[in-house]
Structure 1
Amino acid sequence: MTPAEPLPGEDPRPATVIVGRDSNLSARLAKRAPAPTLISAREFSSEGFRRQLPAGPFSLVLNNFQAATRLDDVRNPESFVQVSLGVTASILGSLADYDVRKIIYTSSASVYGDNTSCREDDRLMADSLHSSLKVANESLVRSAGRRHGIDTTIVRLFNMYGGDDNFSLIAKIIDAARLGTPLRVANRGNAVRDFIHVDDVVDVYEVLLDRRDIPVVNVATGFGTSVRSILDAVRREGYELEIESVRRREIDVSIADVTVLSGLVDVGRFGRVVEHVLESIRR
């Protein structure tokens, strides 16, 4: 895949509609996207959302999914699927009524499953309800884009941290060091992950809003960091950590292939998670 040309036409920077009002990424993107409108996914269950959409052309960013704090809560499967997939279907079903120039769907690295190469053209290996629904959303978005002639980009986002995040493992490590709260870590922290700061993610989205023909892109650093190495760095700074290690099934290594992304932005300037953690603790 090669870098694409900017969107042509008289409206190089159409307005931006961002679905997923409570998302950390949505809030940060709304500060920098052109003419942003933030809409809660819940609002799409009524006709009221139509009054919020721009009359002219706009780009559509779909950050809607089950809340991160409830990904393991499947006591009501019908509600889980409705929030995670049904809302996307409802939104896409209304596209014919609007001048949508671009769709970006925020998917997840989880769709790769236990695949250490994590290339955009790899066969997907979803192995959970969460990842399977992400794959289904990707398919819905692609199909709707083809049907309506709308350029679409699937973003496979790796482990995001920073901003107003208070849920990720990175946020919990910072709290554990600053507040002395206990920290539960899976499998002694041996998992290696590709961590990316939310502001670097927003930089990528700004570029994607103005580009065509990027069907799928990993958004990550291409650099792996083990959870244990982060904990070790915190301890070297003199902070005590009360760690409870629990055995849990998880993917050992998840690092993005960033070949496509490197054709769009300078991946080398992205922040490093260990530096972020230490700077946050010192504040």
Structure 2
Amino acid sequence: MTWLITGGAGYIGAHVAHAMVAAGERVVVLDDRSTGVVERLPDAVTLVEGSVSDRALLDRVLAGHAVSGVVHLAAKKQVGESVEQPLLYYRENIAGLAVLLEAVVAAGVPRFLFSSSAAVYGVPDVELITEETPCLPINPYGETKLAGEWLVRATGRAHGISTACLRYFNVAGAAAPELADTGVFNIVPMVFDRLTRGEAPRIFGADYPTPDGTCIRDYIHVADLAEAHLAAARKLAVGGGGDLTLNVGRGEGVSVRELIDVILEVSGHAVEPVVEPRRAGDAARAVASDARMVRELGWTARRDVRSMVESAWEGWCLRHPEALPDTRK
């Protein structure tokens, strides 16, 4: 089999590519290099530069590499940007997906794995989020992920394609320093960035109905997430798919204050976080139920939050050596 990974030079995509190659899968990557880093890719991977909106290119790639399954990660994914530019997000995330699925149908590719997001749920007031929890996204990014799931499932049913939609929660860490996240959009690199600039980490709201007053989230190591993609792809490959929708998380909650405490300990910085007003749209608690994932894939996340922070910090310091406290440089 050959798997096409769209967005495979990105932070998550490169980890998926490495996991699949290490497991003996043949992989070709399609990436427009808007945020991807080519150097992240394994040597064994063929890179095709281009967009999922380019139908002629897709036809050539799917046929030329005898692609038998697609892992679709290419997407715009910044919540704030999606609010400011909803047309961009719908064009890239929905129109681009439609073009890709048209090419998949025309080429007779029988398997399609879609990287979705916990953003499809919005801000549910539940202890554990299951796949049956109502989907009520609160921003255009989450809307495009939910609409993308609908389109993937409908196409699968209409054309006999086995599909899987993975709704993953908060991603952190790195399998190797050179694979670390280069963006500063998620909480871990955001705290790293503040520390590097000599500023205190920020906590948005400390008056939530949680044990320490800060929001609780489910964090998953990116290497675990990559292995979940591999497990789902192999499930589709052996005919065990059809129409899978799975949460990907650890099923454990960690508060923002707890996470920052781990970051400060690992990084060697001694600074008190500053508490600022709540942000609109932040749920007090968002933790996944991983029961269906365990049942369907026979797989569970293995790495803890400290491992995520340690590996992410190592990757950050590779690019930002000035982040190390004076005593550790």
Matches within 5 A, 1:234-273: 234-235=263-264, 239-241=269-271, 243-244=273-274, 245-249=276-280, 250-263=282-295, 264-267=297-300, 270-273=302-305
Q: Given the alignment of the two structures, is residue 63 of structure 1 paired with residue 73 of structure 2, yes or no?
A: yes
Judged with a 3 Å threshold, the aligned counterparts in structure 2 of structure 1 residues 177 and 271 are, in CA distance, closer, same or farther, namely farther
User: Which amino acid is 2:28 matched to?
Assistant: T
- Which of 85, 110, 113 aligns to 1:104? It is 113
Does the aligned pair in 2 maintain the 1:177–1:240 contact within 8 Å?
A: no
Quote the residue 2:201 is aligned against: 183
Q: Aligned partners of 2:230, 2:312: CA distance in 1, in Å?
A: 26
- Which of 53, 56, 64 aligns to 1:45? It is 53
Deviation of residue 23 (structure 1)? Answer: 2.4
User: Which amino acid is 2:203 matched to?
Assistant: V
- Which of 232, 253, 256 aligns to 1:224? It is 253
Quote the residue 2:132 is aligned against: 121
Does the aligned pair in 1 maintain the 2:82–2:139 contact within 8 Å?
A: no
Equivalenced residues, count? 268
Comparing 168-177 with 188-197, greater Cα deviation is found at 168-177
Deviations 1:221-270 (A, max 9, x none): 00110111122334456522364434312111010011011222442x52
Q: Aligned partners of 2:84, 2:310: CA distance in 1, in Å?
A: 38
Q: Aligned partners of 1:235, 1:32: CA distance in 2, in Å?
A: 30
* Gap regions ≥5 residues in structure 1: 1-13
Does the aligned pair in 1 maintain the 2:58–2:103 contact within 8 Å?
A: no
Q: Given the alignment of the two structures, is residue 192 of structure 1 paired with residue 216 of structure 2, yes or no?
A: yes
TM-score by length of 1: 0.84
User: Which amino acid is 1:44 matched to?
Assistant: V
Judged with a 3 Å threshold, the aligned counterparts in structure 2 of structure 1 residues 187 and 72 are, in CA distance, closer, same or farther, namely farther
- Which of 184, 191, 195 aligns to 1:173? It is 191
Deviation of residue 281 (structure 1)? Answer: 4.6
User: Which amino acid is 2:309 matched to?
Assistant: V
- Which of 253, 259, 262 aligns to 1:233? It is 262
Does the aligned pair in 2 maintain the 1:105–1:138 contact within 8 Å?
A: yes
- Which of 12, 16, 35 aligns to 2:3? It is 16
Comparing 229-238 with 79-88, greater Cα deviation is found at 229-238
Across the aligned residues of Structure 1 and Structure 2, the Cα RMSD in angstroms comes to: 2.5
Instruction: State, as a whole percentage, how many aligned pairs show the same letter.
Output: 24
Q: Aligned partners of 2:168, 2:248: CA distance in 1, in Å?
A: 5
Q: Aligned partners of 1:54, 1:71: CA distance in 2, in Å?
A: 37
Q: Aligned partners of 2:223, 2:290: CA distance in 1, in Å?
A: 17
Deviation of residue 153 (structure 1)? Answer: 0.6
User: Which amino acid is 2:161 matched to?
Assistant: I
Q: Residue 91 of structure 1 aligns to a residue in which SS?
A: helix
Quote the residue 2:170 is aligned against: 159
- Which of 26, 38, 49 aligns to 1:35? It is 26
Q: Aligned partners of 2:290, 2:114: CA distance in 1, in Å?
A: 18
Q: Residue 163 of structure 2 aligns to a residue in which SS?
A: strand
Deviation of residue 75 (structure 1)? Answer: 4.3
